[in-house]
Structure 1
Amino acid sequence: MLVKFPVQFELFGQLYHWHYIFELLAFFTGVRLYYYLRKGIHDPISDENRLWIMLGAMFGALIGSRVVAILEDPESLANLSFSLLYQSKTIVGGLLGGLFGVELIKKYIGVNTASGDVYVIPIIVALFIGRIGCFSMGIDEPVYGLPTTFFLGMDLGDGIRRHPLALYEMMYMVLLLMIFNGIRHRSMRNGERFKLFMVLYFLYRFLIEFLKPYHPLFLALSSIHWSALFIFLYYYKFIRRMVL
């Protein structure tokens, strides 16, 4: 039986996207997994400071996800409204804004210790769950690709076989989960697991963006491309050390 997109459920005579359910499930699962994993490690950051860091990440992600998403379609800036800004979001901007939010808060509260390693697995699992919701929406969610004859191409609701980018990302999250599970006992500097995750995820998003019908922001590259390039520059020393 072929799946018809978007996949919806009916409640009191109204149809609703599963996407919203999976967004909540992703957030809840990620938070619970973070607290579970934190029990098994010695955290040099106090509970109070960890709370401030999490708040900084959430506030930064809230802003960053909207800004980068709006810039994905530069023409929309001419008709920018609060409603459009609220509805627009991307995980790339969320991670980028969250990074800024954390670093600003850490400077304010005087924390110099790297704080991201414990979040890697929860983020990967949350992304996987969230992308299930994106996949269920078909072309109603702008996480779909260009027309293709590739064997994984699917009709996502408009009668055209397209790259199912949400499905690709789910596969990539499984790969990342295997990678980080495989290096869980490897000796690495504090914070390097998070840096590795960011580099690998943004590398994927940089490459997969070329399979999307994206809108160039500058020099034929989208806001996602430029966000990825910023991360590569930000973590240049780490990348250089890992490569060499």
Structure 2
Amino acid sequence: MSGAFLHTVLDIAAWLAAAAALTWLSRRGLRFPAQSFELPYIAALVFGAGLGAYLFGSANLWLSGRGGIARSVEGALAGGIVAIELYKWSAGITLRTGARFALPLALGIAIGRLGCYFAGLDDFTYGTPTALSFGHDFGDGVLRHPVQLYESAAMAVFALGYVLAVVNRNGFVITNGFYLVLAYYGAQRFLWEFLKPYGPLIGPFTLFHLLSLSILLYAAVMLATAPKARRLQNELLA
């Protein structure tokens, strides 16, 4: 079975897992903001995520001395955030609308990164050479850090923690879940970028180092300015 085929299968599995997560959350009786399921909101999200995925993915190829077109999950995440914030600003929406996407995002990345792992060298998501015993040969005879698995495991840990928070009705985690997953994703992704063969943009930092820091900063600001009123949590958990 080819790596490209497995990549496609696992990409589909990631989307299905995200949909299953949304269904599971809805059956827990949580009342997420309705605006995040409205058609203009979804259209802005899809457009921004698609543009960001190809813009940042392709830019990283160019900065790494490669040609072609590529996609990036982190680019999609950044593009989606910008598009939604612009849409909310234009529509006069001040409510925070991302809470329902925390678990789907974590699960989607955890499963989707497995597809990147099986895609091998063609996917350009592998790590730098390593002498560690768990290094993986992606087909060129060089043992490399399987950074795709590192990221998959990290996001799976977040997903598990989030599920436990939902089961235990942890209002803060559920209400701020999207910003928590963004902060967590940005931090772990920043670390893994030191183990990737991407071309630097500023000093030792790659495009995705800077993008990870931007996402982390955005999440930190949103968490720091989160509404303190218990009423908001009570409405979500009602």
With normalisation by structure 1, the TM-score equals 0.81
Q: Any unmatched runs of 5+ in structure 1?
A: 1-6, 10-15
Between the two proteins, the alignment pairs up a number of residues equal to 223
> What residue number does 2:184 align with?
200
* 1:1-244 → structure 2 map (5 Å cutoff): 7-8=1-2, 17-39=5-27, 40-46=29-35, 50-75=38-63, 84-85=68-69, 88-184=70-166, 185-188=169-172, 191-238=175-222
Alpha-carbon distance, 1:37 to partner: 2.0
Q: Any unmatched runs of 5+ in structure 2?
A: 227-238
1: distance between equivalents of 2:47 and 2:225?
Answer: 31
RMSD: 2.6
Runs of 4+ in 1 over 3 A off after TM superposition: 73-79, 235-242
- For the structure 1 residues 75 and 238, does the alpha-carbon distance in structure 2 shift closer, same or farther, using more than 3 Å as the test? closer
Contact 1:74–1:217 (CA under 8 A) maintained in structure 2 = no
- Equivalent position amino acid for 2:112 in 1: G
2: distance between equivalents of 1:74 and 1:241?
Answer: 37
The superposition leaves residues 174-216 of structure 1 with CA deviations (integer Å, 9 ceiling, x where unpaired) of 2111221233222318752111100110111111000011101
Contact 2:129–2:145 (CA under 8 A) maintained in structure 1 = yes
Q: Which moved more, 1:194-203 or 1:211-220?
A: 211-220
The superposition leaves residues 90-116 of structure 1 with CA deviations (integer Å, 9 ceiling, x where unpaired) of 111111101111112222333221111
Contact 1:115–1:191 (CA under 8 A) maintained in structure 2 = no
More helix per residue: 2
With normalisation by structure 2, the TM-score equals 0.83
- Equivalent position amino acid for 2:195 in 1: L
- Equivalent position amino acid for 1:153 in 2: G
Alpha-carbon distance, 1:54 to partner: 2.0
> What residue number does 1:13 align with?
none
2: distance between equivalents of 1:65 and 1:92?
Answer: 7
2: distance between equivalents of 1:29 and 1:198?
Answer: 18
